[in-house]
Chain A
Amino acid sequence: MDESRDLLAAQLKAGDRTAAEELVEMYYQQIYRYMRRLGHGRQTSEDLTQESFLQAWCRINQLRNGWMLGAWLYGIATNISRLYLRRHKDDEKTGLKSDDVPDSNIGSDNVSRDEQLELLKRTLEKLPMKLKETVVLHYMQQLAISDAAEAAGVREGTFKRRLNRALKALRGQVIR
């Protein structure tokens, strides 16, 4: 796995278009969902996903190793999202949209669970963006701590502290 990623990274750095297409196939869904989970609308998420890849093509030379491929791309996507939010501070209220969470399985046994899920979603929406990013990167995009920290542009220790703060906030609101 590592070797194939190293090879892909080498091919990307060598300007191989086929490798670039492979990278798109590997990550476009992940990056789109990352944008959605950060709270961007559908069209905006598509635009930001495209923008992330465009930035990636310009920064191929900054790619160090194959095993950092995901973290590198997520790092670019995180910066694109932050930049968008700074530019559109007043335009878009970000948050996981209510239609993201299905309500089809609300039965008597599931009511409490679904209420908790709804509450979790709302609490996550209200978290400061830096804390939200840590939860989304690690728990929802399932990046390892080291990769998630790299993607967030912070040291692992800082990332863990933010994650703990975020979990504490979520726990305090959702689990009583």
Chain B
Amino acid sequence: MEERIEDLLAKLTEATSEAVRPGLAEDIKRQIPPRLALHKSGMSTINIMIDLRVSKFAAAAVIIIAMALMAHFFGNGDFSGNVFQDSRAIVKHFFGGDTKEANLWSAVSEFYGHLSNKGMNAVFYDGSIGQKEAVLMYWRLADGNYKVIFGDLNARTVNAEELISLQSQMLQKNRKK
């Protein structure tokens, strides 16, 4: 009996598969906003403020790491090798403490905010902090390649194909979790 109902529903589906106005797709596409995904712009300031309320040390760490990141990617900074380790070392040296993941997150958010303010359309995957091969952030360079920062704060310049491959690997890993 149920098969007959399914059969009739299939018939009804066929009968109601009416043609769609061809211009509808174009109408919808025209409404795609220029900035499709809203990321965490503006969050960085909030995070700094939260950190200041929680701990002056944490806030100082955030600022130092953000400065280290900026020096590494935009200046003639003396930072070589793993910026993540460098940042930890700086905090340890000046404050005798250690950085926590939350502080790094805030620092990277601050860095992301800086990129956004400079008009660089960076993409930020906030779940990748501390993960060695996961893409943490990327942005397009003038030559068409992409600058990618990984979860351990190492950076590499890749082309579009490599970027897609890195993103796929990351998604597959996340799916397995």
Binding site for B on A (CB under 8 A): 3, 6-7, 9-10, 12-17, 20-21, 24-25, 28-29, 32-33, 36-37, 46, 49-50, 53-54, 57-58, 60-61, 65-66, 96, 100-102, 113, 116-117, 120-121, 124, 135, 139-140, 142, 167, 170-171, 174-175
For chain B, residues 13 to 29, give those with C-beta under 8 angstroms from any C-beta of chain A: 13, 15-18, 20-21, 24-25, 27-29
Beyond A24-B32, A121-B12, 15 extra complex contacts between A and B, CB < 8 Å: A9-B171, A12-B36, A12-B37, A17-B32, A28-B24, A29-B20, A53-B28, A60-B36, A61-B37, A101-B15, A113-B11, A117-B11, A167-B2, A174-B5, A174-B8
**Which single member of B16, B25, B171 contacts A101 (CB below 8 Å)?**
B16
Whether the Cβ atoms of A13 and B37 lie closer than 8 Å is: yes
- Chain B residues closer than 8 Å to A15, beta-carbon distance: 35-37, 121, 123
- Chain B residues closer than 8 Å to A25, beta-carbon distance: 25
Whether the Cβ atoms of A49 and B32 lie closer than 8 Å is: no
- Chain B residues closer than 8 Å to A142, beta-carbon distance: 13
Nearest CB of chain B from residue A112's CB, rounded to whole Å? 11
Whether the Cβ atoms of B25 and A28 lie closer than 8 Å is: yes
- Chain B residues closer than 8 Å to A46, beta-carbon distance: 21, 24, 27
Nearest CB of chain B from residue A157's CB, rounded to whole Å? 19
Nearest CB of chain B from residue A164's CB, rounded to whole Å? 10
- Chain A residues closer than 8 Å to B29, beta-carbon distance: 20-21, 24
Whether the Cβ atoms of A33 and B18 lie closer than 8 Å is: yes
Q: Does B144 contact A (CB under 8 A)?
A: no
Whether the Cβ atoms of A139 and B28 lie closer than 8 Å is: no
With contacts A7-B168, A12-B36 taken as known, whether A24 is within 8 angstroms of B13 at the C-beta atoms is no
Main secondary structure of the interface of A (DSSP, over half): helix
Whether the Cβ atoms of A116 and B8 lie closer than 8 Å is: yes
CB-nearest residue of chain B relative to A139?
A: B9
Whether the Cβ atoms of B168 and A140 lie closer than 8 Å is: no
**Which single member of B5, B15, B164, B175 contacts A171 (CB below 8 Å)?**
B5
Whether the Cβ atoms of A117 and B36 lie closer than 8 Å is: no
CB-nearest residue of chain A relative to B124?
A: A14
Whether the Cβ atoms of A6 and B168 lie closer than 8 Å is: yes
- Chain A residues closer than 8 Å to B37, beta-carbon distance: 12-15, 60-61
Whether the Cβ atoms of B16 and A100 lie closer than 8 Å is: yes
- Chain B residues closer than 8 Å to A100, beta-carbon distance: 15-16, 18
Whether the Cβ atoms of A14 and B28 lie closer than 8 Å is: no
A12–B35 CA distance with the chains assembled, in angstroms: 11
Whether the Cβ atoms of B5 and A102 lie closer than 8 Å is: no
